[in-house]
Amino acid sequence: MTDEVSTAGAYVTAGAEFTRDDRYIATRITADGRDGYPVEAGRYRLVVSRACPWASRAVIVRRLLGLEDALSMAVAGPTHDRRSWTFDLDPGGVDPVLGIPRLQDAYFARFPGYPRGITVPAIVDIATGQVVTNDYAQMTLDLETEWTALHRPGAPDLYPEAMRAEIDAVSRDVFRDVNNGVYRCGFAGSQQAYDSAYRRLFARLDWLSERLAGQRYLVGDTITEADVRLFTTLVRFDSVYHGHFKANRSKLTEMPVLWAYARDLFQTPGFGDTVDFEDIKRHYYVVHEDINPTRIVPQGPDLRGWLDPHGREELGGRPFGDGVPPGPVPEPDRVPVEHTAAAMRG
């Protein structure tokens, strides 16, 4: 990446293919504390933006596993400058727990002058004010496997040991061609780079459609980490990626299997109730000035279809396996009703 902050962001470099900077802070929070950070209820704060697909993975997993009381959550605003995500949604523009106006402050507290992206999601040690990790891919896996003592009763197993090899393989393909593929389209610096990314994106979406035509979820008969990772791109597809990133062979609503699959997940507790379409659109269309120099945020698309029946129950499957759905969203974590529900009523 060429930017200094990011959701996964980048800037167009003329003549170049988009390349993601994958050098994240690899410190882990584990049950045995081997990196110096043991799992401990109330010790850490998860910093996210609902606009960011990578952060949204952590939001969904935290909710599905019932970690709200153990791991508090700070929500940054949907826009940022080149320096840092900011807590402009909070009174006074300061996170009430960490006491900082910018996520950058937590990075600098541990790594003065930190030279890479000030990214979300990030987990911060509350007592020291220092960032622990921003390794979003490992973060959700650790929430699923290292934080088990703090999971809610009836929490699903999102990363079952017997299926990990397949989940990892599917997730790698989805990341390369879909999660990151839409960015490779949107930030392509040449026609050749765009064409290549476009072909790979829709070839993979066609492959996913074939895979999901006969099974309800990506791996096995329950929701897993792989479904979380795909969902966060699909839920942004028509609002952002189709137009803003020129991923425009088909809208999600024009891909019947994937559209039904996405609606199925959206209507599952823990998925749609974490989505903020308003923040999503505002982030992409305002922050990416090189793609959208006017910074005009579109009014559409019509969101009402997300609540239509999906019919995927006919494929069987048990969304939460032997577990049960999470309860209502805690008040502090609720998406503003005017950002999603009102829009879906037309």
State pLDDT tens for residues 244-271: 999 999 999 999 999 999 999 999 999 9
CB 239, CB 280: distance < 8 Å: yes
Cα separation values, 178 from 5, 174, 219, Å: 22, 5, 17
Q: Which of 186, 206, 196 is nearest to 284 (CA)?
A: 186
Percent of the residues in the chain that have a pLDDT greater than 90, as a whole number: 88
Q: Which two tokens stand for residue 131?
A: 């960032």
pLDDT, mean over the chain = 93
In the annotation, is 284 catalytic? no
pLDDT band at 20 (very low <50, low <70, confident <90, very high): confident
Least confident of 8-22, 41-55, 332-346: 8-22
pLDDT confidence of residue 4: 30
Query: What percentage of the chain carries pLDDT values higher than 70?
Result: 94
Cα separation, 266 vs 232, in Å, equals: 10
pLDDT confidence tier of residue 110, bands split at 50, 70 and 90: very high
**Could you count the other beta carbons within 10 Å of the beta carbon of residue 248?**
13
The predicted pLDDT at position 10 comes to 59
How far out from the chain centre does Cα 168 lie?
Answer: 17
CA distance 53 to 51: 7
Q: Where are the alpha helices (DSSP H) in 214-315?
A: 225-236, 256-266, 277-287
Burial (CB < 10 A; 0-12, 13-18, 19+), residue 58, is buried
Burial grade of 23 (CB within 10 A; 0-12, 13-18, 19 or more): exposed
Q: Which of 37, 52, 136, 261 is catalytic?
A: 52
DSSP 8-state secondary structure symbol assigned to residue 75:
E
Q: Does residue 15 surpass a pLDDT of 50?
A: yes
Query: Which pLDDT does position 55 carry in this prediction?
Result: 98
CA 99 from centre of chain? 25
Token pair for 74: 């700070």
- Choose the catalytic residue: 44, 136, 159, 183: 183
pLDDT at 343: 59
Collapsed DSSP state (helix, strand, coil) of residue 124: strand
310-339 pLDDT, tens per residue? 999 999 999 999 999 999 999 999 999 887
- Does residue 185 have an active-site annotation? no
In CATH, 5-150 is 3.40.30.10: yes
Is the model's pLDDT at 7 over the cut of 50? no
In what helix (H) or strand (E) does residue 48 lie, and over which residues does it extend?
strand 44-48
pLDDT of residue 194: 97
Compute the distance between CA of residue 295 and CA of residue 216 in angstroms, rounded to an integer. 38
- The pLDDT tens digits for 57-90 are 999 999 999 999 999 999 999 998 878 999 999 9
Mean pLDDT of 226-249: 98
| Cβ atoms of residues 258 and 205 within 8 Å | yes
Determine the Cα–Cα distance for residues 103 and 291; give it in Å rounded to an integer: 25
Domain 161-344 in CATH 1.20.1050.10:
yes
Dist. CA 117–CA 302, nearest whole Å: 33
- Tell me the C-alpha distance between 6 and 120, whole Å: 7
Quote the pLDDT of residue 345: 57
Domain segments of the chain as ranges: 5-150, 161-344
Phi-psi label, residue 128: left if phi above 0, alpha if psi -120 to 50, beta otherwise: alpha
